[in-house]
Chain A
Amino acid sequence: MKFWGYRRAEGRAGIRNHVLILPSCVCGSESARIVASQVRGAVNIVFNTGCSDVQANTDMSQKVLTGFACNPNVYGVVIIGLGCETVGHRELREKIQKMTSKPVVSFGIQEEGGTLKTIEKAVRAAREMAAEAAMQPKELFDISNLLLGIECGGSDATSGLASNPAVGELSDLLVDMGASTMMSESIEWIGGEHVVAKRAATPEIHNQIIEVCRAYEEHLKAAGQDCRAGQPTPGNKKGGLSTLDEKSLGCIRKGGTRPIVEVLEQAQRPTKNGAMVMDTAGFDISSVTSMVAGGCNAIIFTTGRGTPTGNAIVPVLKVTANERTFKMMDDNMDVDLSPIIRGEKTFREMGKEMLKDIEDMCNGRMTKAETYGFSDIAVDHVCRFV
């Protein structure tokens, strides 16, 4: 399988060619939005932090900002900062420039003399970049260039029965073709972590997976919280999930069965090809944010109840096996997997069929969330604000 994408000087090929308008802190977010709205080909993110934060959170924010800038779907970056944020626009730009040779420019609202002057300069810079980006020809790449993030959210009983196993099958087929996939949401491995660990390519990776779950439980315990309290929920039980193990086993099916070659921290860029896992929250928007910062080209997102979420940098392909959700939320759902629940097709058959959806998406077909220009983001807080 091959796709038409954009060559990058470093790393994997892009499947989109966005100019990213990147605020270095919350105070640059509104200007970034206005700049992106003025330039076709530009996308922006809304960043809600970057100031008055503890070091651990600043480190996390920086990983997300630099990771977004380096994502292969990004052609070039226009940074908008304020001037007194924790990590200024210049410093952020220099960091990004050490990681990638793609075009990066930056402006500070205080030194430019206010919003309008900054926006004017940033629009001019973004316009030049977008014009250049539009000239870049697409090239034919092997599917091994693809890094697909796998996410679930708004789950129901059909998720573990049909859409997650089907996406797991898709993941196995892609990995067998040389592509890479990434499953995250480590808190949702708990109860099934021994099964995730069985997929480890080495004993070291096996132990890393177990330790990630132990550390997550201990982190919450230190804050007086118990992640097992009330799991499965009364609603889960009524819906047919009898134990935490059953719930987690349904969740982790979306990652497939191939050997796990790397365990990544949040927003960390992989060094290997194949099936990988990332230690993120179960909060879907935060998990997608971290996987995109880690370099995923696209996200496949299983849902039961339905969700509209989208990301500015990568397409998010929404799949559901709940027939009612697919019909009711036609505006948001991309792929109908309900034939599995009706017994008309197996999850393996539908996993294989989704290869075509992946190929089309890589070749430029927009997902529903992408056509709406959705740009959800949530940066995980390792510690409270100060």
Chain B
Amino acid sequence: MTINALLLDEKDNVVTCVKEVKAGEEVVYQAEAGIKTVTAMEDIPYCHKVALVDLCEGDKAIKYGEMIGQVSHAVAKGCWVNENNIFSVPRDYDSELV
């Protein structure tokens, strides 16, 4: 089975498609445990992200093993994750000091 998406870290709940994927097609990626798949529920453009699990409002979208944004509108498993459903949480440098 040919891979068409990349998992950047085992903790991630999104993968990035490295080919355009049409709704109904399988998103195929390599994880440590082997090849995994998720069915795309909508069209996913090249280099865009697809949710591996149902993401609820307030959840964290994780890529590179880190939070890339907070979910503003729920994204179902297999749907397109983009700037319309996740947002950057502004950080406060003071709170980051140890």
Chain A residues close to B by CB (< 8 Å): 157-158, 161-162, 165, 191-195, 197, 203, 206-207, 210-211, 213-214, 232, 237, 239-240, 242-246, 249-250, 253, 340-343, 346
Tell me whether A343 and B4 are in contact (CB under 8 A). yes
Q: Which residue of A lies closest to B3 (CB)?
A: A343
A11, B81: Cα distance in complex, Å? 49
Tell me whether A213 and B93 are in contact (CB under 8 A). yes
A210, B92: Cα distance in complex, Å? 10
- Tell yes or no: B97 within 8 A of A by CB: yes
Give the number of A-B contacts (CB < 8 Å).
80
Main secondary structure of the interface of A (DSSP, over half): helix
Chain A residues whose CB sits within 8 angstroms of the CB of B93 once the complex forms: 210-211, 213-214
A228 to chain B, nearest CB (A): 9
A203, B97: Cα distance in complex, Å? 8
Chain B residues close to A by CB (< 8 Å): 2-4, 6, 8, 16, 18, 30, 45-49, 63-64, 66-69, 81-83, 86-88, 91, 93, 96-98
Q: A246-B63, A250-B64, A343-B30 are in contact. Are A240 and B16 (CB under 8 A)?
A: yes
Most B CB within 10 A of own CB, among A207, A232, A242, A343: A242
Q: Which residue of B lies closest to A341 (CB)?
A: B18
Tell me whether B96 and A193 are in contact (CB under 8 A). yes
Chain B residues whose CB sits within 8 angstroms of the CB of A210 once the complex forms: 93, 96-97
Chain A residues whose CB sits within 8 angstroms of the CB of B86 once the complex forms: 242-243
Q: Which residue of B lies closest to A237 (CB)?
A: B83
Tell me whether B45 and A249 are in contact (CB under 8 A). no
A263, B30: Cα distance in complex, Å? 35
B25 to chain A, nearest CB (A): 15
Tell me whether B83 and A194 are in contact (CB under 8 A). no
List 14 contacting pairs A-B, 8 Å CB cutoff, sorted by A: A158-B47, A161-B6, A161-B47, A206-B98, A232-B83, A240-B16, A240-B48, A242-B49, A243-B88, A245-B66, A249-B64, A249-B68, A341-B6, A342-B18
Tell me whether B18 and A245 are in contact (CB under 8 A). no
Tell me whether A243 and B98 are in contact (CB under 8 A). no
Chain A residues whose CB sits within 8 angstroms of the CB of B6 once the complex forms: 161-162, 340-341, 343
Chain B residues whose CB sits within 8 angstroms of the CB of A342 once the complex forms: 3, 18
Q: Which residue of B lies closest to A202 (CB)?
A: B98
Q: A240-B46, A343-B2 are in contact. Are A246 and B96 (CB under 8 A)?
A: no
A78 to chain B, nearest CB (A): 46
A128, B7: Cα distance in complex, Å? 56
Chain B residues whose CB sits within 8 angstroms of the CB of A237 once the complex forms: 82-83
Pick from A161, A240, A245, A346: contact of B88, CB under 8 Å: A245
B91 to chain A, nearest CB (A): 7
Q: Which residue of B lies closest to A242 (CB)?
A: B83
Most B CB within 10 A of own CB, among A191, A203, A210, A244: A210
Most A CB within 10 A of own CB, among B8, B64, B66: B64
Tell me whether B68 and A242 are in contact (CB under 8 A). yes
Tell me whether A194 and B30 are in contact (CB under 8 A). no
Chain B residues whose CB sits within 8 angstroms of the CB of A232 once the complex forms: 83
Chain B residues whose CB sits within 8 angstroms of the CB of A245 once the complex forms: 66-69, 88
B84 to chain A, nearest CB (A): 8
Tell me whether A243 and B96 are in contact (CB under 8 A). no
